[in-house]
Structure 1
Amino acid sequence: MSCPYEHGADDVPDIPFPDAFRFDPGPRWAHLRDEAPLTRVRTPAGDVVWLVTRYDDVRTVLTDPRFSRAGTVAPGAPRVAVSSPLPGTLPTTDPPEHTRLRRLVSAAFAYRRVETYRPWIRELAGQLADGLAADGSPADLRAALALPLPIRVICRLLGVPYEDRDRFREWTELAYSMVPAEADRVHAAMAALTDYLAGLVAAKRADPGDDILSELAADPAGLSPGELTAFGLNLLVAGHETSANQITGFVAALLRDPALWDRLVAEPALVGTAVEELLRHTRLSETGQLRVAVKDVPLAGGTVRAGDGVMAAIAAANRDPRAFDRPDEIVLDREPGRHLAFGVGPHFCLGAHLARVELQEALTALTSRYPGLRLAVPADDLRWRRVLVSGVDALPVRW
């Protein structure tokens, strides 16, 4: 197999690629899937790792125990972004330690429990959608709904004071930085966020409330204070940034082709499958999920050596024509179930159903109230946030 970028450091391309941060993936992604499904890239942190782009290979990296998440926090391990992942957490452990941690927290995000939150999330989404009209047309949908909805949800569930949102918003945005020159600010922000969560966990232990952190803190056989702090930090960061970018990106993708929006307005029963299709189609990352090989592994026609970093490009896998018919089209009634947006295997996203509820209720609130919603600027003029978990920076809409 030809791997055109593996021969020398000067030949290794930087990821994100130069044509990143836009609606459509650049042609390099299709070329890699077809011609070099295992190739070398240099991460924003300066480390050279393997990149896999085909659906089956990405699934293998995410599910095969020979590819380790714990290895990504070992001394000298390759990194993707500026911030270093926290060791000993759900995202950075392997079974059996990961199994222990997941068992302790999984009940908090179980399907039935999340569904009990749906009426409140529906009401909140409706209130925020109504507030969009109060701001007048045009308005920024990201600022008015896409960002405050998941922030309010994760604050209520974790027991984080909503009035602290401006503080942790600044810290969490820096956590996704891909700019090495911001390293000092990133590390300071992560330290401040860790201290903030540690203080909150201590307060929950002393005076429990009706929230997930208090519930977990009260379990004498549960997470240690450090583990609970890390759990809260990961949820606070991922729990609102990801959903905010998805809501914004989903609406932008639908309004880019107004016929899609109009169909969803006319057929509200499609919201569920539309969310799954938009999860597949909309890219949140221009890089991928990192693993470290613990053994030599044949992969994608080549061999990954023990100790090598491997980046699984979920966004590329979700557009692989080997797995999806018409992969670059948004098919609102596509049969759901195969996309990898929430990962797969042991590290399947703990909050996947919560995210689905937020996305479904946001789209329902908007399509029912704004049947004539349209972009207020040309789609090509929308600006993208150039960070690890990306999305449209602002979404001006009119009605």
Structure 2
Amino acid sequence: MGGLRSRFLAWLGRKYLARTQKKGFDLSKISLLPDAALMPLKRDGLDPVGELGRKREEEPISKLSLPFGMTAWLVTGYEETKAVLANVKGFSNDFTNLVGSAGVTEEQNPGGLGFADPPVHTRLRKLLTPEFTMRRLNRLTPRIQSIVEEQLDAMAKVDGPVDMWEAFALPIPSLTICELLGVPYEDRDEFQRLSTARFDLFGGAGASLGAISESLTYLLEVVKKQREAPGDGLLGMLVKEHGDEIDDRELAGLADGLLTGGLETTASMLALGTIVLLKDPDAFKLVHDDDDAINDFVEELLRYLTVVQMAFPRFAREDIEVAGAKIAKGDIVLPSLSAANRDAGLGEHMEGFDGTRPATSHLAFGYGVHRCIGAELAKMELRAAYPALVRRFPEMRLAVQPEELSYRKVSIVYGVESLPVLMK
């Protein structure tokens, strides 16, 4: 689902660059967007930049400075963000809001839930929801545990530093998504490549758009095979239970959303969460010693890290007022999840991490009808991975100085480029 957000930022970059270059535009130069537009996607290590917090305190809904008369609003307050995310009558997610702008066409619609409004969104989510009940997801628990153990076994055989991003963070959700969707194990490398090309905007928005198209082409072939011989995974179950109620393009779009929403986001959580554990001895000991602590620990980590920094863009369906801000019909509204989750309205000391904090009503998975449908699956993976990691490698430590870690510079899904760790 983060891939759809990157499509919006790519569109915004194209719109800006198309006005400034007579002979077209270079998507790799999306960083030329004004700093005000990129500021919500920047961080200082694990923390949002200070300016984002100041925005929230001074003006929780503020106009973004964008070129050529485009009107956008940045929402940084917790209650204000909830109000926008909950209001499906006042705000639209639909992809058609982008069609006709800077060459965007309906054919580029990746499908899925993220850029769909009711009743289309309602119908598709209703089809998916039974597959994400805890009863259905629990069948994956043994497989998730074995995936984690397999990765730890491989890491234990390595002499010297291990890149936790490649050896731990990425394979666990990649293999889990393969298991969920019912696609071949041998395709895991392709899954990882198609997902990771989308998110770092300085890596080139053109590559991001190409990865989305390539992913849909690949998944359409997967869907075709599932039509011919439905398996026991999610795609096979949807084919068997709903048949002609959902066409191949919709199935591929749903699979693409689950791929991007459940792979890169969980991988980033696993990597950044490992950094938190290595920086905080008390958190490390807590997860190592106390089985009952993992639920609240994971919830606090989700709030603190908020790796999906911005929710899907909303488009005002009508003139509307939110917390005193007068938003005009057609205005773009950008809810900053990373800012909202640091709001003092959620509790005390929200700028810091406290592994013993009772679970809060954070917005790491969004809110309302568009809340991430795979939230429980992601939490299952995190709850399995962190305790297993610290118990297998109680002496693990960073192989470089913390300031030497390379984080993504401007990214919708925040993450680290690599994470070298010594296991013993």
Shift of 1:333: 2.0
Is 1:281 aligned to residue 304 of structure 2?
yes
Residue 207 of structure 2 corresponds to: 185
Instruction: Note if contact 2:114-2:312 (Cα within 8 Å) is conserved in structure 1.
Output: no
Residue 233 of structure 2 corresponds to: 211
Instruction: Note if contact 2:315-2:330 (Cα within 8 Å) is conserved in structure 1.
Output: yes
Is 1:262 aligned to residue 285 of structure 2?
yes
Task: Write out aligned runs for 1:327-346 (5 A).
Answer: 327-346=350-369
Shift of 1:250: 0.8
Q: Which runs of 5+ in 1 are unaligned?
A: 1-9
Quick one: structure 1 residues 217 and 188, their matched pair in 2 at CA, closer, same or farther if it must change by over 3 Å? Answer: same
Residue 123 of structure 2 corresponds to: 100
Shift of 1:356: 0.5
Instruction: Note if contact 1:194-1:229 (Cα within 8 Å) is conserved in structure 2.
Output: yes
Residue 92 of structure 2 corresponds to: 68
Shift of 1:34: 1.2
Cα distance in 2 for partners of 1:361, 1:302 equals 43
**Secondary structure in structure 1 of the residue aligned to 2:47:** coil
Is 1:397 aligned to residue 416 of structure 2?
no
**Secondary structure in structure 1 of the residue aligned to 2:246:** coil
**Secondary structure in structure 2 of the residue aligned to 1:341:** coil
Q: Give the counterpart letter for 1:208 in structure 2.
A: P
Q: Give the counterpart letter for 2:421 in structure 1.
A: V
Could you tell me which of 150, 171, 182 is aligned with 1:159? 182
TM-score by length of 2: 0.84
Task: Write out aligned runs for 1:247-396 (5 A).
Answer: 247-386=270-409, 387-396=411-420
Cα distance in 1 for partners of 2:170, 2:65 equals 31
Could you tell me which of 164, 172, 178 is aligned with 2:195? 172
Mean Cα deviation higher: 364-373 or 284-293: 284-293
Is 1:143 aligned to residue 166 of structure 2?
yes
Cα distance in 2 for partners of 1:140, 1:16 equals 29
TM-score by length of 1: 0.89
Could you tell me which of 33, 52, 55 is aligned with 1:29? 52
Q: How well do the aligned residues superpose, as a CA RMSD in angstroms?
A: 2.7
Instruction: Note if contact 2:148-2:388 (Cα within 8 Å) is conserved in structure 1.
Output: yes
Residue 38 of structure 2 corresponds to: 15
Cα distance in 1 for partners of 2:351, 2:293 equals 19
Mean Cα deviation higher: 271-280 or 293-302: 293-302
Q: Give the counterpart letter for 2:412 in structure 1.
A: L
Cα distance in 1 for partners of 2:93, 2:333 equals 10
Residue 78 of structure 2 corresponds to: 55
Deviation readout 1:341-385 (Å, 9 max, x if unpaired): 111100111111100000000012112212222222222211113
Cα distance in 2 for partners of 1:43, 1:369 equals 49
Q: Give the counterpart letter for 1:199 in structure 2.
A: E
Cα distance in 2 for partners of 1:78, 1:305 equals 22
Cα distance in 2 for partners of 1:395, 1:182 equals 22
Identity %: 34
Shift of 1:152: 0.6
Cα distance in 2 for partners of 1:191, 1:47 equals 27
Could you tell me which of 154, 157, 166 is aligned with 1:131? 154
**Secondary structure in structure 1 of the residue aligned to 2:145:** helix
Aligned length: 385
Higher helix proportion: 2
Shift of 1:77: 6.4
